[in-house]
Copies of this chain bind each other. A is one copy, B any other.
Amino acid sequence: MQAEAIKQSLEDSGLRCTPQRYAVMAFLMESNRHPTAAEIFEAVNRMDPRSSRATTYNNLRDLVQAGLVREVAVEGRSARFDAKGMRHHHFICDRCGNVEDIEWYKVPRPASTSLGKRILRECELIFRGLCTKCAPRHASR
């Protein structure tokens, strides 16, 4: 189950699976937003293991170094993080500033396939600087 998987991936990366470290990972895995370090700190401390600010920041640093967590650049003042399970790129919309995940395709697809068509549509949005939510409404700008 999940718990074992987290423990495993920590150890595969040469990190001990401490309660505090585990809690950070678990929270990041179940969260689909991109929480700030402060939010993670708060969430982890809402229930058990208790983790000081320093430990939370240290663990985030270690997890990023190990490649298990990615630091995401966003519009705003504080760095945000997300669990790096699937490969995706972070796209920031020009208009609303939201971060949108874009799948990472290992191999370019021909434009004739349906995946190829989807990719092309996404490309179009990227070059307009608009996320999928903003694009339809401003197609003509």
A interface, CB within 8 angstroms of B: 71, 73-79, 87, 89-90, 92, 94, 97, 102-105, 108, 111, 119-120, 123-124, 126-129
Contact B104 A129 (CB under 8 A): yes
Contact B127 A102 (CB under 8 A): yes
Q: Do A104 and B128 form a contact, CB below 8 Å, given A73-B73, A73-B74? A: yes
Return the contact of A127 from the options B76, B108, B127 (Cβ within 8 A): B108
Instruction: Kindly list chain B residues whose C-beta atoms are within 8 Å of the C-beta of A108.
Output: 120, 123-124, 127
User: Lowest 9 CB-CB distances: which A-B pairs, in order?
Assistant: A123-B123, A89-B129, A73-B75, A73-B73, A105-B127, A108-B124, A73-B92, A73-B74, A104-B129
